[in-house]
Structure 1
Amino acid sequence: MYRKKYLFKSERLGYRNWTENDLAEFAKINSDKEVMEHFPKPLTKKETFEFIERLKTHYKTNGYNYFATEILETGELIGFIGLAHQDYISDFTPATDIGWRLKKSAWGNGYATEGAKKCLEYAFTELKLNHIISFFTEKNIKSEKVMLKIGMTKAGVFNHPKLKDYPDYEKCICYKITKRDWLLINK
């Protein structure tokens, strides 16, 4: 098994903060058109660098972020699964959301669901948060399936203010889960 210091682990995955060593691999993930299908565009290497810097700052400010996620057995970076504070204007914010972005070779292995479940546990037990949201563009059915698998329920539909310049992506569906509901599911 590959050994590295993680903030926490699930059965097959390790979750950590980002480093400069992640740029090349994460840039490949973010430049993949299929991975970025439900986003306005793939990201350049420079945009990926800026994203990593924002994630590191977010961690310093909030104690969590969209964590760099690796396969424990190999140490392979497969993308991110984690949490981010959202303060754009909507009926569902401010709130902490849970999200994921994985490379294609990691798809179909249950990693997003495994990781999201572990991040919910971390959010409710370690961070002491009271509820978590998640959202997706209306065509991203795969993300919706993960949200349902982790016990989230539909909270509503909204036009994402950060996507107003991208009409094909602006309409989003929000899901949520409270700590109480999570505890009931995970007795």
Structure 2
Amino acid sequence: MTEIRTPRLFLRRWDDDDLAPMAEINADPQVMRLSGDGSVQDLDQTAEDIERWEEEWDEEGFGLFAVELLASGELIGFVGLSVPEYLPEVLPAVEISWRLGRPFWGQGYASEAAQATLEFALQDRGLDRVISITRLGDTASENVIRKLGMVPERETTHPVYGFPLRVHTIDLTEFHA
């Protein structure tokens, strides 16, 4: 089982107890406004997501980590790796992404977990390159991306929803753990 500990966080695979707290995060319109079409997700949709994330772990050897606070064991969201099949123009690629509950914003948790995940991708999983895809105007994610040392590669348009996206990248030669 793949697990990562940072000074404040525990990144791990998903378990049954994660469904309700992740569904609560996915039901928050402020959290979801920049994800997909911006719609919130219910318990069933969240269960389908977690099942798909776990399948990606089994198939690819990486995936989205459940992220919990070490101090309390509380699930705060996800950070991890996935193949961005929704944007064929960047393939083959592996994307780093995150989604945290609103009470956990602005405390450095996304940056802390993303840095550990990027190190996992480039050093443990042997990936040569990782990308991150954001909607233009997502300044909070752009801040995390800058802290990771990623640089803008291109701008494009979401093929389904039509909004502008920015693709960032970092490769093994640019990464500093």
| Structure 1 length-normalised TM | 0.89
Question: What is the match of residue 122 of structure 2?
Answer: 124
* Separation of aligned partners in 1, 2:168 and 2:95: 9
Q: Structure 1 vs Structure 2: percent identity of aligned residues?
A: 35
Matched, 1:36 2:32: yes
Please give the residue correspondences for 1:100-111 in structure 2 after superposition, counting only pairs within 5 Å.
100-111=98-109
Please give the residue correspondences for 1:40-55 in structure 2 after superposition, counting only pairs within 5 Å.
40=37, 41-55=39-53
Name the aligned partner's letter for residue 58 of structure 2.
K
Extract structure 1 runs of 4+ deviating beyond 6 A.
none
Query: Which of 1, 4, 12 is matched with 1:16 structurally?
Result: 12
Name the aligned partner's letter for residue 180 of structure 1.
T
Question: What is the match of residue 77 of structure 1?
Answer: 75
Q: Shift of residue 160 of structure 1?
A: 2.3
* Separation of aligned partners in 2, 1:57 and 1:112: 23
Q: Shift of residue 143 of structure 1?
A: 0.5
Q: Deviations over 1:56-110 (max 9, x none)?
A: 1011101111100001111110000111122345432221100000001111110
**Match of 1:14, SS?**
strand
The number of aligned residues is: 175
Does structure 2 retain, via aligned residues, the 8 Å contact 1:67–1:82?
yes
* Separation of aligned partners in 2, 1:123 and 1:81: 12
Matched, 1:155 2:153: yes
* Structure 2: segments with no counterpart, 5+ residues: none
Question: What is the match of residue 134 of structure 2?
Answer: 136
Matched, 1:178 2:176: no
Q: Deviations over 1:1-48 (max 9, x none)?
A: xxxx86111111111111122111000000001111112211111111
Query: Which of 59, 62, 75 is matched with 1:61 structurally?
Result: 59
For the aligned residue pairs, the C-alpha RMSD in angstroms reads: 1.4
Does structure 2 retain, via aligned residues, the 8 Å contact 1:6–1:14?
no
Name the aligned partner's letter for residue 7 of structure 1.
E
The more displaced of 89-98 and 49-58 is: 89-98
